[in-house]
Chains A and B, each alone.
Chain A
């Protein structure tokens, strides 16, 4: 290991340590939500900066270069203009920048798993789909031109030239002939692929406020991070409902506010339909999550819900999770009904309920949802 790699791994370890320390804070404030790119999350970590006596930026100002009249704006906000466009050169003062560290989702999930002591999800027997992938693994003397291996071809030609004694170091011309040509060859690898479908359902009726939605948002971020680390492919679908349900995209899911009543069964029906249409149960690991404040319109509808769950959703899913967010308006009845019909402790009961009182309870509820390793 080179020296810089050692320093680099020290750095990564320090970063991970800090994240670990702050994990509960990140979860309950939801501060990492919306900071993720495709597979990394940008985490602000001012704690690892080495502090120094330095000037307060805003009372300073500075000198710039360019057109413009006095009074003209150079940009708003706290940060000094021009900062961060660095073209810094090493050895000439060590640059200063606001510290953000890229952490991969996998790394984050690992930390989450270790801190909350989440078990890995056991693969479910029949649900493995085998996929075939072609990989370039070798070299062969025949093949299409598009796969010609330039270096190997010339190496072969050089070998031949030297062998027949035609090589002249002063004029090192090497000409490949047909026999020298080398091509990439491939073999097909079969690998089990496990996919997961996550369906988020949320009650957007009047009684669910912004804080409740924040909770759901933070919770779903971490659940996604974890499930992504457990499955090679994951798809997410979003359903919102009041008295009726509809499928929406992620943004709408977290930003819609409806008024009116609540019929939970509408969401369950739609979820069931989505699964039926697009996701054969034999190929997908299915994780429906439903968040609501526990208010349902009628006892009749609750009965419909229970029936849907028992006959359809629960058997099809790896685990059905219901999270009840406390709200000043909701009665909180639904969780009691669920507990009554799906008592904890029954072996094959794969329905998990969790009560989330406030932001600080998110950590515990994630653990309840993911703690069973299903």
Chain B
């Protein structure tokens, strides 16, 4: 095994615990790449956390800002990072120096859960497991560009790229798609003019032709054909989700700029699965730390109170926010229990006797097997879509909330299962980001870039949209537009290099 990071060995006592816990984890059926633990000081922890878990990233002030926030919130005692683990092979995990032994044991148990998830969950299957190396290479490259073109120039360009970093297609790595050849310029076919003899027409005897293929029908055919050709003339031929890729290929950039944009894109794709599986990943790791700590004898009796304190802090319910740890662990437990007691399958689904359902008991012992299967195939959306039940929803006291403008106040809106589920799934769709595509790179025949926002009931934040368009303009260097909706009106936000503007638009 090649080690990418120089690691200080753990103190003997922790090392012994690490081996014990690893044995138990393997015994429970967890399967992971080698996990390398290192104990570090809080400063180092803040640094690595600011870098998203990696020892080196390309130079950028936003990491400094994050570091500022993390180290301050520790100094003021506001928050504390207990653990940090990254999806690589081997899997690197950091323990915080000065934590009590019970904390370290808890963290190690938790981390083995994450490590198993990283290795086995489908959505992580396409991630770069040598990312430590890749990130270091990115850093070297950006530093070289800074030497050549100036620190500020490169940094400002990175600012611009980061502003569109979320415009990727998170499903792209898992889909084999044939790239269609894009035909850009094509003459209109001759049959569009003239008498329309060559348009597709229904077969008819000559004397019936006017009746079977009336002018109205031919006109419709003509229009259809025209639309098809218009479609082919469009560029891109189909709307494109991977806006970053499109910009890399089509925007007028220099070589280093294209490379930097590529770096930002690679890293965005690397982090995407973590955003797509936050609930599952944390739920899975929490499931295993509780299981191993409380049932497999890792915990000493005198550590119970401290353990319970840490655990409840991580899984506390919030009124205005979903806690992924809480929902995740509870849902995994619920699935295990349902499959253990036979609450699944045709018979269960069709039973509508409340009492029978409540007292249902057909032990199968398949619960554990089931949750391992779930952790392999699902992401947060499919996980909740498939396994969220009305009973679970009520037990977990889930509700939706809304902003009431008149009272300028946030209020609980509903506890209906259907609404809660719908809202939850919406929040998780595209990791809570608007779905945006490149629609047309030659909008209004002016080489302007038109993006479209797939509006699903929630408007875009206008001031952010304008600021982002400004940055997009810096890449595209021609006017940029985004089509969206405001309440129920179609609208087009634009930036032409000088002035932001908006107008009614139905595209």
Contacts and interface: CB of A to CB of B under 8 A. Distances in A.
Contact of B464 (A54, A73, A77): A54
B411 A56 contact: no
Contacts of A89: 49, 81, 84
A57 to B, nearest CB: 7
A138 interface: no
Given A54-B464, A55-B434, A74 B320 contact: yes
B408 interface: yes
A73 B322 contact: no
B233 to A, nearest CB: 27
Contact of A52 (B60, B164, B470): B164
A140 interface: no
B453 interface: yes
Interface stretch (B61-69, B171-179, B203-211, B286-294): B61-69
A75 B403 CA distance: 10
B401 interface: yes
A53 B81 contact: no
B69 to A, nearest CB: 8
A85 interface: yes
B165 A52 contact: yes
Given A7-B64, A52-B464, A64 B321 contact: yes
Interface residues on B, range: 35 or more
Contacts of A58: 403, 405
A65 B322 CA distance: 6
A67 B397 contact: yes
Contacts of A73: 407, 409-411
B398 interface: yes
A51 B163 CA distance: 5
A69 B321 contact: no
Contacts of B281: 92
B118 to A, nearest CB: 11
A52 B86 contact: no
A328 interface: no
Interface in B398-432: 398-403, 405, 407-415, 420, 423-424, 427, 431-432
A153 to B, nearest CB: 22
Contact of B318 (A6, A57, A59, A82): A82
Nearest to B85: A91
A91 B127 CA distance: 14
B221 interface: no
Given A7-B63, A90-B81, A64 B458 contact: no
Contact of A80 (B66, B410, B482): B410
A181 B500 CA distance: 74
Contact of A69 (B412, B427, B431): B412
Contact of B412 (A59, A64, A86, A90): A64
A10 B64 CA distance: 7
Given A51-B468, A53-B482, A76-B407, A70 B52 contact: no
B306 interface: no
Interface string A1-37: 0111011111111100000000000000000000000
A300 interface: no
Contacts of B49: 89-91
A12 B401 contact: no
A215 to B, nearest CB: 30
Given A53-B436, A59-B459, A72-B412, A93 B60 contact: no
Given A63-B420, A90-B81, A76 B408 contact: yes
Contacts of A10: 59-61, 64, 155
Contacts of B61: 7, 10-11, 13-14
Nearest to A92: B274
**Best-buried of B271, B323, B461 by chain A (most CB within 10 Å):** B461
Contacts of B407: 73, 76
A56 B403 CA distance: 11
A127 to B, nearest CB: 36
A72 B46 CA distance: 38
B86 A91 contact: yes
Contact of B163 (A50, A72, A83): A50
A75 B320 contact: yes
Interface residues of A, number: 56
Contact of B67 (A7, A55, A75, A94): A7
B433 A81 contact: no
A6 B427 CA distance: 36
B410 A81 contact: yes
Contacts of A66: 317-319, 397, 399
A169 interface: no
A68 interface: yes
A11 B397 CA distance: 42
Contacts of A72: 411-412
A68 B64 contact: no
A165 interface: no
Contacts of B399: 63-66, 68, 70
B236 interface: no
B400 A62 contact: yes
Given A66-B318, A90-B81, A55 B460 contact: yes
Interface in A83-114: 83, 85-87, 89-94, 102
A102 B72 contact: yes
A56 B459 contact: yes
B433 A54 contact: yes
Interface in B36-54: 46-53
A144 interface: no
B403 A70 contact: no
B373 interface: no
Contact of A91 (B72, B271, B413, B427): B271
Interface of A: 2-4, 6-14, 48, 50-78, 80-83, 85-87, 89-94, 102
Given A11-B64, A66-B318, A72-B412, 7 more contacts: A52-B165, A54-B433, A59-B457, A62-B322, A70-B415, A80-B403, A94-B52
22 contacts: A6-B64, A11-B64, A48-B65, A50-B162, A52-B163, A52-B164, A53-B436, A53-B464, A54-B460, A56-B458, A61-B401, A61-B413, A63-B427, A65-B317, A65-B322, A70-B411, A70-B413, A71-B411, A74-B411, A78-B408, A90-B53, A92-B281
Q: Which 6 A-B pairs have the closest CB atoms?
A: A81-B320, A82-B320, A51-B467, A82-B321, A11-B64, A7-B64
